[in-house]
Amino acid sequence: MKQPVDFTLTPGFITKLSLMMGMALLPHVANVPINISLYLLLLLAWRILGLYIDKLQPGRLLLFAVTLISIFIVYSQYQTLLGRDAGVALLGMMLLLKVNEIRKRRDIYVSVFISYFVVITQFLFSQSAVLSLYLFSVVIGLTSLLMEINRVTPSSKVYRPLIATFKITLQALPVAMVLFIVFPRITQPLWNFSSEASARTGLDDRVTPGAISDLIESSEVAFRVQFQQPPPEKKQLYWRGLVLWDSDGFSWYTDEKRPLGRETIKLWMIDNPIKYEIFLEPHDERWLFALDIPLEAPPRSRLTHDFQLLYNDRVTKPISYSLHSLSRYSMNRISPGQRRRALDLAENITQRQRNLVAQWKAASNSDREVVEQALRYFNTELFIYTLSPPRYQTNPVEEFLFEGMAGFCEHYATSFTQLMRIAGIPSRLVLGYQGGEYNALGDYFIIRQYHAHAWSEVWLEGQGWVRIDPTAAVAPERVEYSLRRDFAGQGAPAMFEIDGGGALDSVLRHFTHALDNANIQWRRWIVGYSREHQFTLMRNFGVDSYTSMQWSFITLGILAIVLLLVGLTIIRQGRLLLSPAQRVYQRFCNKLSSIGISRRSYEGPLDFAQRAARNRPDLASQISAIADLYIELRYASQENDRRQQRLFARRVRQFRPRAR
């Protein structure tokens, strides 16, 4: 008795299986510590070598010991065996130990299924289009192994099972898409492990000297923006993130213990609001970004009195939201509490600073003029805009203003805000991004970490909170062009990237923009697909709740249609082959049916011929001759008799019945 296990348990096949598992695990290298990665690699190598070198074949006892060691390694690394990170490391080890004890076909199934699970866990760390494409092919590779063990002889070509599996996967794709679109999204986690925030680059809620210049090193995308109308000028793109009210003379922050109270602020529009959509990358913080003054809060977030948008949770996965913003506006009043706080001074204000401000105040009649004086001061004195300023350690503002005079946006913004407070003008620090990189292919802006920026807002009577960017006074290029990151050494002035460089640059930019465009479409439609999108879509069908029965009906209905269509294509592939004799006979039947005698499904050729002959005695001899030939050809296994075949074909051709 030949069992189809023959080739499935050979070293060759298990090597293939092990390598596929390795591929499923590979992206985790970025997610687990290096020593875990190396340990996993060791296990994989041990398995594959063991297939060929008998001495390395592990016994049961050794395998058990290694299992215990693996658990110990995971525990000592993470201090737990639960949760995402430890779970993934443990899963990888168990998977690679599982291949070490493949003895039956069942073990192969189990190994492949665990690998599927490993693939799913990759998406807990990254959901990029490239990774998805990679994992999609890994799944096809894994599944093709199942196809191989369900056939008897190994495929002659390595790629055949892959292509066959790929086809089946493509047929499954519509089903997957339907389920993806309609399956209810539950926003609350079902269970919760201790939060495992990974370190991400992004803005911090505290500005210390050097905080932003660190960010400038990163070209990671912070968010993307698509305008619903012609976008404002680049130098007007100030993306508000968070507002900092308090300073201890060294850093800026917002003291959570000092609530500002709720108050209503009246806004007058000077221009029409700008409508746009933001696709935010996860940054593990609660704040959302908006252009200047947002007018409303997106779902699951709130708008604070100082126009910050705060999300209900930390943003741990990509989200998107639409907003209206005002760039030109006026506000009515400031509450005494706010005013007091916006004038609070740190203790390390020096007499030199007070003297400087006193000079400006003496030379001006209004707050607005003081602001202008200050900006002029930054502009005319020998201030240098640089990414690598000297370290200001004891009193950063003092050292920057009067000693170093070289700094980055955070230095200008913090000093400016502090000087305004000394002058009695309520002011606060705003942290966010400035500018953006336009992607013409997708008609949107990419805002990267190196667009991070800090500026100031001052309260001017009659106007309200007005954005003032002292950096722009020193280095207007900063707000018009992006920074070039290839700056040279300590103290070197910052360089700016001016659009329209060399041809190579433009090709490169074109390419990266195309890639980014694909990525954002992916983000927008797949990764960022949310409950809100779902409801917008389902409202077209008049359904507005998960609990509505119609929701299930529509789901099942669409699914049924898709399955039917896919099913039909599959069945069509397996159509029966008709032998030449059958095809000719089919023609004969068609001719008879054209004169009103149709063959019934249960009628054999003989019964049919007899009935036809009874109906048309005038054709009886022809009909019976054809039927006899056919029966002989078909059932007396003479299908290969060429002469008979030709005779049969001729008879049928010559058979031209006419209706009476």
Partner 1 sequence: MAAFALTNRLQQLRRRAKPESRGKLRVAPRSIYILPTRQGMLLALLLLLMLAGSINYGSNLGHLMTFLLGGIWLITILHTWRNLLGLTIQPGEAASVFAGQTADFTLRVVNNSKTNRYGIALSAMRQPGGTVDIAADCGAELHIPVNTQHRGILPIPEITIHTTFPFGLFRAWSYAQLDLSCLVYPKPAAQGEPPTKAIYNHSDSGDRGVGADDFIGLRSYRLGDSPRQIDWKAHARERGLMSKQFGGDRSDQVSLDWELLKEYETEQRLSLLCRFILQAEEREQSYSLRMPGEKIATGSGPLHQQRCLSLLARYGYDDETAG
119 binds partner 1 (CB under 8 A): yes
Supply the minimum distance, in Å, between the C-beta of residue 33 and partner 1. Answer: 21
Supply the minimum distance, in Å, between the C-beta of residue 444 and partner 1. Answer: 20
3 binds partner 1 (CB under 8 A): yes
Q: Please answer whether residues 196 and 170 qualify as being in contact, where contact means their C-beta atoms are separated by less than 8 angstroms.
A: no
503 binds partner 1 (CB under 8 A): no
Supply the minimum distance, in Å, between the C-beta of residue 636 and partner 1. Answer: 10
2 binds partner 1 (CB under 8 A): yes
How far is Cα 368 from Cα 386, in angstroms, rounded to an integer?
Answer: 28
63 binds partner 1 (CB under 8 A): no
User: Which residue from 501, 567, 580, 596 is in contact with partner 1, where contact means CB under 8 A?
Assistant: 567
User: How far apart, in Å, are the Cα atoms of 391 and each of 187, 290, 488, 491, 506?
Assistant: 45, 32, 17, 11, 37
561 binds partner 1 (CB under 8 A): no
* Residue 298: other Cβ atoms inside 10 A: 21
Q: What is the largest CA-CA distance in the chain?
A: 127
CA angle 252, 313, 337 (to 5 degrees): 40
Tokens of 91: 């899963």
Identify which of residues 4 and 462 has a Cβ nearer to partner 1 in the complex: 4
Radius of gyration of the chain (CA): 37
User: Which residue from 76, 153, 156, 194 is in contact with partner 1, where contact means CB under 8 A?
Assistant: 153
How far is Cα 356 from Cα 415, in angstroms, rounded to an integer?
Answer: 12
Tell me, residue by residue from 167 to 186, as one string, x for binding to partner 1 by CB under 8 A and - for no binding: -xx-xxxxxxx-xx--x-xx
Supply the minimum distance, in Å, between the C-beta of residue 113 and partner 1. Answer: 5
User: Which residue from 52, 64, 72, 109 is in contact with partner 1, where contact means CB under 8 A?
Assistant: 109
How far is Cα 212 from Cα 216, in angstroms, rounded to an integer?
Answer: 7
Supply the minimum distance, in Å, between the C-beta of residue 620 and partner 1. Answer: 23
The region of 325-333, 404-412, 430-438, 566-574 touching partner 1 under the rule CB under 8 A is 566-574
Burial class (CB in 10 A: 0-12, 13-18, 19+), 633: buried
42 binds partner 1 (CB under 8 A): no
Q: Within 599-618, which residues bind partner 1 (CB under 8 A)?
A: 604
124 binds partner 1 (CB under 8 A): yes
The region of 163-171, 216-224, 381-389, 442-450 touching partner 1 under the rule CB under 8 A is 163-171
Supply the minimum distance, in Å, between the C-beta of residue 424 and partner 1. Answer: 48
User: How far apart, in Å, are the Cα atoms of 539 and each of 179, 221, 319, 551, 557?
Assistant: 17, 33, 21, 10, 16
Written in H, E and C, the secondary structure of 311-336 is ECCCCCCCEEEEEEEECCEEECCCCH
194 binds partner 1 (CB under 8 A): no
Provide the terminal-to-terminal Cα distance of the chain, rounded to the nearest Å: 62
Identify which of residues 503 and 602 has a Cβ nearer to partner 1 in the complex: 602
Identify which of residues 199 and 577 has a Cβ nearer to partner 1 in the complex: 577
| # residues contacting partner 1 (CB under 8 A) | 69
Strands, E assignment, 221-294:
221-227, 238-244, 246-247, 252-253, 267-269, 274-280, 287-288, 290-291, 293-294
656 binds partner 1 (CB under 8 A): no
575 binds partner 1 (CB under 8 A): yes
Give me the count of residues in the chain. 660
User: Which residue from 9, 66, 164, 405 is in contact with partner 1, where contact means CB under 8 A?
Assistant: 164
The region of 133-141, 302-310, 359-367, 482-490 touching partner 1 under the rule CB under 8 A is 133-141
User: How far apart, in Å, are the Cα atoms of 492 and each of 296, 402, 470, 486, 489?
Assistant: 42, 19, 20, 11, 6
506 binds partner 1 (CB under 8 A): no
User: Which residue from 71, 94, 147, 441 is in contact with partner 1, where contact means CB under 8 A?
Assistant: 147
Q: Within 243-282, which residues bind partner 1 (CB under 8 A)?
A: none
Tokens of 519: 């990525």
Tokens of 366: 């209004």
User: Which residue from 70, 165, 327, 415 is in contact with partner 1, where contact means CB under 8 A?
Assistant: 165
317 binds partner 1 (CB under 8 A): yes
Supply the minimum distance, in Å, between the C-beta of residue 528 and partner 1. Answer: 8
The region of 65-73, 117-125, 437-445, 460-468 touching partner 1 under the rule CB under 8 A is 117-125
Residue of 80, 404, 481, 16 whose CA lies nearest to 210 = 404
Q: Across-strand partners of 482?
A: 497
User: Which residue from 55, 60, 103, 106 is in contact with partner 1, where contact means CB under 8 A?
Assistant: 106
Q: Across-strand partners of 454?
A: 431
Identify which of residues 205 and 277 has a Cβ nearer to partner 1 in the complex: 277
How far is Cα 225 from Cα 240, in angstroms, rounded to an integer?
Answer: 13
User: How far apart, in Å, are the Cα atoms of 638 and each of 313, 586, 587, 605, 627?
Assistant: 78, 18, 20, 16, 14
518 binds partner 1 (CB under 8 A): no
Residue of 312, 279, 282, 314 whose CA lies nearest to 125 = 282
Tell me, residue by residue from 320 to 339, as one string, x for binding to partner 1 by CB under 8 A and - for no binding: --------------------
Supply the minimum distance, in Å, between the C-beta of residue 521 and partner 1. Answer: 14
Supply the minimum distance, in Å, between the C-beta of residue 513 and partner 1. Answer: 24
Residue of 223, 259, 227 whose CA lies nearest to 241 = 223
Tell me, residue by residue from 84 to 103, as one string, x for binding to partner 1 by CB under 8 A and - for no binding: x-------------------
Residue of 382, 267, 278, 389 whose CA lies nearest to 333 = 267
576 binds partner 1 (CB under 8 A): yes
How many alpha carbons fall within 13 Å on the CB side of residue 285?
Answer: 18
How far is Cα 217 from Cα 449, in angstroms, rounded to an integer?
Answer: 8
C-alpha dihedral over 141, 145, 150, 151, to 10 degrees?
Answer: 90
Supply the minimum distance, in Å, between the C-beta of residue 567 and partner 1. Answer: 5
Supply the minimum distance, in Å, between the C-beta of residue 64 and partner 1. Answer: 24
Q: Please answer whether residues 242 and 287 qualify as being in contact, where contact means their C-beta atoms are separated by less than 8 angstroms.
A: yes
Identify which of residues 168 and 518 has a Cβ nearer to partner 1 in the complex: 168
- Give 104's contacts (C-beta < 8 A, 6+ positions apart): 5
Q: Please answer whether residues 89 and 43 qualify as being in contact, where contact means their C-beta atoms are separated by less than 8 angstroms.
A: no
Supply the minimum distance, in Å, between the C-beta of residue 426 and partner 1. Answer: 41
157 binds partner 1 (CB under 8 A): no
The region of 136-144, 268-276, 541-549, 642-650 touching partner 1 under the rule CB under 8 A is 136-144
120 binds partner 1 (CB under 8 A): yes
Residues that bind partner 1 (CB under 8 A): 1-4, 84, 105-106, 109-110, 113, 116-117, 119-121, 123-124, 127, 132, 135-136, 139, 143, 146-147, 149-153, 164-165, 168-169, 171-177, 179-180, 183, 185-187, 189-191, 316-317, 526-529, 563, 566-567, 570-571, 573-577, 579, 604, 635
